[in-house]
Amino acid sequence: MKKELPKSIEFVRGVGTRYARLLQKLDIYTIEDLLYYFPRDYQDRSKLVEIRHIVPGELVTIKGEVIKITEERPRRGLNILKVTFSDGTDVINGVWFNQSYLKKQFQKGKSFFLSGELNEKSWRFRKKEIFNPGYEEIDNTDTIHTGRVVPIYGLTSGMTQKRLREIIYNALKDFSCHFTDILPVEIKKKYGFLDLDRSLWGLHFPESREHFIYARARLAFEELFVLQLLVLNRKKGVLSKKGIQHKPCEKQIKEFLESLSFELTDAQKRVWQEIKGDMEKAAPMQRLLQGDVGSGKTVIAALALLETIANGYQGIIMAPTEILAEQHYLKLKDMFAKTAYRVCLLIGSMSQSERKGVLSAISEKMVDLIVGTHTLFQEGIEYYKPGLIVIDEQHRFGVEQRYRLKEKGENPDLLVMTATPIPRTLSLTVYGDLDLSIVDELPPGRSPVITTWRDEESRGKIYNFVKEKLKEGRQAYIVCPLIEPSEEVKAVSAMELFEKLTDSVFKEFRVGLLHSKVSTDEKKMVMDQFRDGELDILVSTTVVEVGVDVPNATIMIIENAERFGLAQLHQLRGRVGRGEHQSYCIMIANPTTEEGRKRLTVMTETTDGFRIAEEDLLIRGPGEFFGTKQSGMPDLKVANILKDHKLIQIARKEAESIIEGTDEWQEKYPLLYEKINLIELKV
């Protein structure tokens, strides 16, 4: 069984109080933290280059003895420190600018490792120089720092590379073989994973490239495996509770579908069957409904809500903003008009008396379908038998809230809808506890939005084009990054542009203004006017980003498009292209970075939400894509969620077979169970 090990880093040789304090600055408190503090880079010192062989254009490490130190002051404010090193084959200068204090580190006769790239220019003058090289003194008695691949760690001031390397080396030597390996033996055998001790060594002090690769794979697998155990265990916990077993109500569904002005697409039909199947099971539904903007998720939500209501329960649908909640409300009220069911809206900006009325209607079951924002889940709202909760636009709410919601009522079914296409490997991790349904088909007759990217100079032409379309009876959105002009941020503001356009360019048209500082009543009025065609142009901020549905609006102009993320641009574009007329998205932008240009180019190249999400993820990384805090997931130290597809898949498979295929898995795998409980406490 497990031997109790000392926990504190002060037990590691070479640590002591002073270094313990420095290590804490790096978030290292225990020996385990220390062994899991992995290098940020490596340097191959097993194959040192002879100075006579170095050429520019490659990163090299050489070993040399200091033979000369000089300092120059070619002009005021510039100090150049040159240290000449020799390895017997040739000499090379390490050059530092305005770092005179480094001089005392280099004494004649001492040996150093030097790493960096040869300076092009001096090379042309037949001199070998490296500017600001990495350097480390060689102590001839040691073997940790020489003749091998050495780890390079992230440091804090007061801590040196050498010292930290020694501390970690000592910790590995004295403690790593005593660490409990939580990976089940059969899994290690099946995939040929190294054991824990050898893997930790392999990440810090790899003996070869293979050693490193195998060590990394094992540790990455372990992280992903534990993560999968965590989400699947959560899911099992939910599913093992008794939920609501809805009875089929084919007749009502059929009538409802007949009342619509369109047929469901095949994708919608398939997804509805998946949802219906879940709802008619005893276990609570936990499903993610994913579909690009405009793919018709709302109708599917309506069907699911109808099913719960027809079974005598209340249906709840929550949107991320008041505007969206209102849109859903109007739409659903319309769809439910031919049924006997009552729909109500609950949002934060209602007056006290309105609110009171709605609340008592809810608790007395005077309403069947409740639409609202997050206010729906505040204290003091008593639902009468909630049967299904639909959450629209999940990424704005976060995983934790998902679980809090479930506490209302007796395990109601849960349907999460998102228009953010989530790449498969990510949905296995971040949304790993939800089953996935994808609407992968747009309703017929939609032609892709024509997307272009123009600069400031083309404004005149753009406006003429817009006028033409308005005269044909269409409507346009103009989205700005700012509400009002700002001193710090140079970008177009909605207020300013609104005035300019109403005063001149679009004088003869009806222009509306919408942003988050407008009062709720006015917001509603403006939105209504635009929906009813009483406004030709809507100048706004990103408040129109999600859910707004006006099929006659066919033009989306995005000001300072370089300021928006890809996902956001895609959402904005999704506001047009919803009707029979050809739609256009015109981005006015002056990107200054390569990344910015890349984003805009991706937008003009594709309307495929999945490709856009993949690109977005690559540009921003998963942390920002979801908002690290929101994702509710532990940090991964070794695994890469974007690149380790294969490992994610096997981790999923093995975790499934343990959690779903083993009775009392917690008792059979106590180490794994202990581990996921520890993590659960942290996230």
Q: How far is the CB of 551 from ligand ADP (least distance, A)?
A: 6
Q: Which of 114, 194, 264, 271 binds ligand ADP (CB under 6 A)?
A: 264
Q: How far is the CB of 436 from ligand ADP (least distance, A)?
A: 15
If binding is defined by CB under 6 A, does position 485 make contact with ligand ADP? no
Q: Where are the beta strands (DSSP E) in 292-373?
A: 314-318, 343-346, 369-372
Select from ligand ADP, Mg ion, none the partner in contact with residue 294, using the beta carbon and a kind-dependent cut-off of 5 to 8 Å.
ligand ADP
Burial of 91 (0-12, 13-18, 19+ CB in 10 A): middle
List CB contacts of 373: < 8 A, sequence separation 6 or more. Answer: 318, 319, 320, 321, 322, 325, 346, 347, 348
Q: How far is the CB of 327 from Mg ion (least distance, A)?
A: 8
Q: Which residue is nearest to ligand ADP (CB)?
A: 296
Question: Applying CB under 6 A, which part among 225-233, 296-304, 342-350, 367-375 lies near ligand ADP?
Answer: 296-304
Tokens of 653: 């498979």
Q: How far is the CB of 343 from Mg ion (least distance, A)?
A: 17
**Binding map of ligand ADP across residues 435-454, x = CB under 6 A, - = no contact:** --------x-----------
Q: How far is the CB of 444 from ligand ADP (least distance, A)?
A: 6
If binding is defined by CB under 6 A, does position 570 make contact with ligand ADP? no
Which of 454, 442, 441, 443 is closest to 604 using CA atoms? 454
Select from ligand ADP, Mg ion, none the partner in contact with residue 246, using the beta carbon and a kind-dependent cut-off of 5 to 8 Å.
none
Query: What separation, in Å, do the N-terminal and C-terminal C-alpha atoms of the chain show?
Result: 29
If binding is defined by CB under 6 A, does position 398 make contact with ligand ADP? no
Question: Applying CB under 6 A, which part among 54-62, 144-152, 226-234, 297-305 lies near ligand ADP?
Answer: 297-305
Q: How far is the CB of 417 from Mg ion (least distance, A)?
A: 7
Q: Which is nearer to ligand ADP, 233 or 295 (CB)?
A: 295
List CB contacts of 316: < 8 A, sequence separation 6 or more. Answer: 369, 370, 372, 376, 383, 386, 388, 389, 390, 412
Question: Applying CB under 5 A, which part among 107-115, 530-538, 541-549, 610-618 lies near Mg ion?
Answer: 541-549
Question: Applying CB under 6 A, which part among 263-271, 280-288, 336-344, 507-515 lies near ligand ADP?
Answer: 263-271
Number of residues that bind Mg ion (CB under 5 A): 1
List CB contacts of 274: < 8 A, sequence separation 6 or more. Answer: 287, 435, 437
Q: How far apart are CA 3 and CA 31, in angstroms?
A: 14
Please report, as residue ranges, which positions from 275 to 294 form the binding site for ligand ADP (by CB under 6 A). Answer: 291, 293-294
If binding is defined by CB under 6 A, does position 296 make contact with ligand ADP? yes
Q: Which of 268, 411, 451, 560 binds ligand ADP (CB under 6 A)?
A: 268
Burial of 152 (0-12, 13-18, 19+ CB in 10 A): middle
Question: Applying CB under 6 A, which part among 42-50, 233-241, 259-267, 585-593 lies near ligand ADP?
Answer: 259-267
Q: Which is nearer to ligand ADP, 216 or 578 (CB)?
A: 578
Helix axis angle, 609-626 to 594-605, nearest 10°: 140
Q: How far is the CB of 513 from ligand ADP (least distance, A)?
A: 24
Q: How far apart are CA 511 and CA 501, in angstroms?
A: 8
Tokens of 575: 């506001």
> Cβ distance 287 to 436 under 8 Å?
yes
List beta partners, residue 70: 82
Q: Which is nearer to ligand ADP, 192 or 444 (CB)?
A: 444
> Cβ distance 425 to 417 under 8 Å?
no
Select from Mg ion, ligand ADP, none the partner in contact with residue 12, using the beta carbon and a kind-dependent cut-off of 5 to 8 Å.
none
If binding is defined by CB under 6 A, does position 92 make contact with ligand ADP? no
Q: Which is nearer to ligand ADP, 196 or 324 (CB)?
A: 324
Q: Which of 419, 449, 587, 641 binds ligand ADP (CB under 6 A)?
A: 419
In order, the DSSP letters of 96-150 are: EES-GGGGGG--TT-EEEEEEEB-HHHHHTT--EEES-EEEE--TT-SSSSSSEE
Question: Applying CB under 5 A, which part among 86-94, 176-184, 478-486, 544-552 lies near Mg ion?
Answer: 544-552
Q: How far is the CB of 297 from Mg ion (least distance, A)?
A: 5
> Cβ distance 306 to 454 under 8 Å?
no
If binding is defined by CB under 6 A, does position 421 make contact with ligand ADP? no
Tokens of 600: 């805009």
Question: Applying CB under 6 A, which part among 45-53, 222-230, 256-264, 625-633 lies near ligand ADP?
Answer: 256-264
In a 13 Å sphere around the CA of 511, the CA atoms on its Cβ side amount to 23
Q: Which of 286, 298, 420, 583 binds ligand ADP (CB under 6 A)?
A: 298
Number of residues that bind ligand ADP (CB under 6 A): 18
Helix axis angle, 196-204 to 161-175, nearest 10°: 170
Q: How far apart are CA 229 and CA 558, in angstroms?
A: 43
Please report, as residue ranges, which positions from 214 to 233 form the binding site for Mg ion (by CB under 5 A). Answer: none
> Cβ distance 612 to 567 under 8 Å?
yes
If binding is defined by CB under 6 A, does position 381 make contact with ligand ADP? no
Q: How far apart are CA 407 and CA 287, in angstroms?
A: 17
Question: Applying CB under 5 A, which part among 160-168, 179-187, 546-554, 573-581 lies near Mg ion?
Answer: 546-554
Q: What is the 3-state secondary structure (H, E, C) of 29-72?
A: CEHHHHHCCCCCEEEECCCCCCHHHCCCCCEEEEEEEEEEEEEE
If binding is defined by CB under 6 A, does position 318 make contact with ligand ADP? no
If binding is defined by CB under 6 A, does position 299 make contact with ligand ADP? yes
List CB contacts of 518: < 8 A, sequence separation 6 or more. Answer: 526
Q: Which residue is nearest to Mg ion (CB)?
A: 547
If binding is defined by CB under 6 A, does position 577 make contact with ligand ADP? no
3-state secondary structure of 75: strand
Question: Applying CB under 5 A, which part among 104-112, 178-186, 542-550, 567-575 lies near Mg ion?
Answer: 542-550
- The H or E element that residue 614 is part of is helix 609-626
Tokens of 454: 């123009």
Q: Which is nearer to ligand ADP, 445 or 661 (CB)?
A: 445
Tokens of 97: 């600018």
Q: Which is nearer to ligand ADP, 101 or 262 (CB)?
A: 262
**Binding map of ligand ADP across residues 517-556, x = CB under 6 A, - = no contact:** --------------------------------x-x-----
Q: Which is nearer to ligand ADP, 432 or 547 (CB)?
A: 547
> Cβ distance 513 to 526 under 8 Å?
yes
Q: Which is nearer to ligand ADP, 244 or 442 (CB)?
A: 442
> Residue numbers of the site for ligand ADP (CB under 6 A)?
262-265, 268, 291, 293-299, 419, 443, 549, 551, 578
> Residue numbers of the site for Mg ion (CB under 5 A)?
547
